[in-house]
Structure 1
């Protein structure tokens, strides 16, 4: 009958260390991918990051009375046309 003395040998330690590194790399990668998918930068409207920021800024200027309605609609149309091209 064979008895195991608890010594894994050099290859056992190398494989254990490699498995340890791969396990934690997979955990960290999963956390990063999850955080990126839940982030505010995940906008799929085709305008890229901050596409709605220009429209929001324009709406704020209109609300403060800095621009009139005709200028607001003209600039809004320009912004929306630029997003389609």
Structure 2
């Protein structure tokens, strides 16, 4: 078996590219781990962080979402009555006052 190994140019006594391959594999795995960490932190995959898809009044991107959130916070602090809260929410959602 040693004779066959010595006859093949890749496995012969010459060094060739053999020290480069472990370094390339090491750099490859470092790149894969760096990509995974970057993807996790930026939210490309993994558990979703941040605001949920819907708030009290609708999607996060809707123009009235922040206004409805402010009204809900004021109502929770007791700054407005039930009637006042529901009246303002119906106006925000397009209903009649």
Task: State TM-score, norm by structure 1.
Answer: 0.50
Structure 1 position 30, deviation (Å): 4.2
The change in CA–CA distance for 1:29 and 1:22 in structure 2 (over 3 A counts) is same
Q: Which has the higher contact order (CA 8 A, sep 6+)?
A: 1
The change in CA–CA distance for 1:79 and 1:18 in structure 2 (over 3 A counts) is farther
Q: RMSD of the TM alignment (CA)?
A: 3.5
Match 1:71 to one of 84, 88, 93: 84
Task: State TM-score, norm by structure 2.
Answer: 0.47
Distance 1:16 1:31 in 2: 23
* Bigger Cα Rg: 2
Name the count of aligned residue pairs: 75
Structure 1 position 28, deviation (Å): 0.8
Greater helix content: 1
The change in CA–CA distance for 1:43 and 1:55 in structure 2 (over 3 A counts) is farther
Q: Which residue of 1 aligns with 2:76?
A: 60
Q: Which residue of 1 aligns with 2:51?
A: 41
The change in CA–CA distance for 1:42 and 1:21 in structure 2 (over 3 A counts) is farther
The change in CA–CA distance for 1:47 and 1:31 in structure 2 (over 3 A counts) is closer
Match 2:25 to one of 16, 35, 42: 16
